[in-house]
A and B are shown apart, each in its own frame.
Chain A
Amino acid sequence: MDLRYLRRRATNVFNLGMAVLTTLLGLFWLFWILFTTARYGYHSLNLRLFTLDTPPPGAAGGLRNAFVGSLMMIGVGIVAGTPAGILAGTYLAEFAGRKRIGEIVRFFNDILLSAPSIVIGLFVYSVVVAPMGNFSGLAGGLSLAIVLLPVVVRTTDEMLRLVPSTMREAAMALGAPYWRVVLQITYRAARSGILTGVLLGVARISGETAPLLFTALNNQFWSTNLARPMANVPVTIFQFAMSPYQGWQRLAWAGALVATLAVLGLSIFSRFLIRQRNN
């Protein structure tokens, strides 16, 4: 065999070997991060985590107020972001089609999707928090809604476009007006796909910290008032993890473990939904 052939073979084996190694490296990081979170978080994972509020340094406590605050703000995010996202996605898929305006909105929606979330926090700070005069759970929920919106717009658009046009035509031939065709035929056909998009978006906002820093701030006490600063899991984790107190750091890890499990659970569940749909 000549040398050139050997060299080509060697390059091939080496590069493909590197491909295997880099894949292992990627998986290794995933498992290392999950392992670290589980190892440190597991110790403080008990019932008190969900029944006690965030303690002062040195005292025993849990993250009850933070969990409730997070859930409430995610709720506001879903209520404000989902209908708007679905309707905007409907416009793109049903009315704009391949028109220029549709392409433009799609283009900038994708930009909004990847825009730094901390900038969205700054924006909500300047248009909601500063005029209102104080940090509030509502502002936190709104910034989460802005993070959620482009995710929902995009999946709704994609999922509606997958619905065969013969379905719409059949309904229209029966004399149904277009709005009824959309509400009763295409939405129904694309339901699980749209739901998947919402779930993926919810998974994303559940772990978001940056947009909450200057909107909801945080609250050490129990509060369900959306007009006041509100406790939430990510910002509490941030403050507690950076603190020098051991008790706080332990709580931060427990919160991190619960948040990670929730987010990964949601992502895996929505993937499962897609799989079901495709079968």
Chain B
Amino acid sequence: MEKPQTPSRLTRLWDPLFKGTTAVLAYLVLALLVAICLSLLREGWDAFKTFGWHFLVSKAWDPANNKFGALIPIYGTLISSLIAVVIAVPVSLGIAVFITELAPRWLRQPVAAAIELLAAIPSIIFGMWGLFAFAPWFSNYEPWISDHFGSIPGIGVLFRGPPFGIGMLTAGIILAIMIIPFIAAIMREVFLLTPPLLRESAYGVGATTWEVVRNVVLPYTRTAVAGGIFLGLGRALGETMAVTFVIGNAHSVSASLLNPGYSIAAALANEFTEAFSPLYKSSLIALGFILFVITFIILVLAKLLLLKLERAQGETA
């Protein structure tokens, strides 16, 4: 009988070498995130040191006199993204309900794929469409919004403004269109995870389709749906090109959503290559750091919420 060949020392080296290489590259992903964070902090340090915490609450943005504050871009980033989420959540819910509960089987895949194609369109195309097609059309209706919502006590001030077509509300609507595919895809996936037994019992006691969604599917998938919404919010916060085209790029805070505004990403896209002084550049990178930190927190929350349902699934399976 032939003795089994034992691998020579050299060939035995290949396995740890292969494993080591893949491990190093996997850690590279972590290293990249840390490096991004640290390099932005380092380059933006000048601004944080010069202005202290005033940088976060100051409205100033005066390159000629080297005075910078982040309040206006932060405000614009948060408000435009919030508008986007407020619009995108009900629409995504509708799309997910349609695909999972209503559509005949042959229609599900094509509709889901078409909605996902919306996510594949480059953001600069959204921007051009927003500026040249959506904004002119929307400006026809802004006087109507002003007239009808502007007089509501309390929130009316949000809707009183000039009919430019571009501004915070337009940016929010376009961001909403961009994040709908992400939120709808997650809602659709998790809705399908609802145990058929729960769903069927509800139908068995005479619930309508809507009542099944409202009282069975949504409560079961609650955390993952919230995760999907946060994921959409994270995407909206960092969106650059589309917002740069339509937000108006005005360095001012205004209560009205119809007025032009500014966002962190738009400020970077417009001003970074033209920043003439080191402090100017550093302030812009500091803005980038703030954006990174905000989106990082939102995305971590999103992932944690999404993992929760996954874990629960793993336990029952």
Q: Which A positions have Cβ atoms within 8 angstroms of B? A: 8-9, 11-12, 15-16, 18-23, 25-27, 29-30, 32-34, 36-37, 40, 84, 87-88, 90-92, 94-96, 104-105, 107-112, 114-120, 122-123, 125-127, 146, 149-150, 153, 175, 177-179, 182, 203-204, 206-210, 213-214, 217, 234, 237-238, 241-242, 252-253, 256, 259-260, 263-264, 267-268, 271
Contact = CB atoms under 8 A, between A and B. Distances in A.
Contacts of B40: 119, 122-123, 126
Interface string B137-160: 000000000000000000000000
13 contacts: A12-B211, A19-B101, A23-B94, A26-B95, A108-B33, A118-B240, A118-B288, A123-B36, A177-B7, A210-B240, A213-B273, A214-B268, A242-B245
Given A16-B210, A122-B285, A116 B114 contact: no
A109 B5 CA distance: 41
Interface stretch (B54-62, B118-126, B163-171, B253-261): B118-126
A177 B15 CA distance: 7
B129 to A, nearest CB: 5
B309 interface: no
A257 B190 CA distance: 35
B18 A179 contact: yes
B32 A146 contact: yes
Nearest to B96: A19
Q: What is the predominant secondary structure among interface residues of chain A facing chain B?
A: helix
Contact of B210 (A15, A241, A252): A15
Contacts of A207: 121-125
Contacts of B127: 238, 241
Contact of A118 (B19, B129, B269): B269
Contacts of B19: 91, 95, 178-179
Contacts of B36: 115, 119-120, 123
Contact of B117 (A88, A209, A256, A267): A267
Given A20-B98, A127-B35, A88 B29 contact: yes
B32 A23 contact: no
Nearest to B122: A207
A12 B209 contact: yes
B302 to A, nearest CB: 8
B117 A264 contact: yes
Contacts of A241: 127-128, 131-132, 245
B117 A119 contact: no
Given A22-B91, A116-B240, A30 B292 contact: no
Interface of B: 4-5, 7, 11-12, 14-15, 17-19, 21-23, 25-30, 32-33, 35-36, 39-40, 42-43, 90-95, 97-99, 101-102, 111, 113-115, 117-118, 120-129, 131-133, 177, 180-181, 184, 208-211, 213, 231, 234-235, 237-241, 245, 265, 268-269, 272-273, 285, 288, 291-292, 295-296, 299-300, 303, 307
Contacts, number: 262
A149 B300 CA distance: 19
A-B CB proximity, top 6 nearest = A116-B238, A207-B122, A22-B94, A91-B22, A12-B208, A179-B18
Given A84-B28, A209-B122, 6 more contacts: A116-B265, A127-B39, A150-B29, A175-B5, A234-B241, A264-B117
Given A29-B177, A271-B113, A104 B132 contact: no
Contact of B27 (A105, A110, A117): A105
A95 B124 CA distance: 39
B98 A22 contact: yes
B42 to A, nearest CB: 8
Contacts of B117: 30, 264, 267-268
A14 to B, nearest CB: 8
A34 to B, nearest CB: 8
Nearest to A208: B122
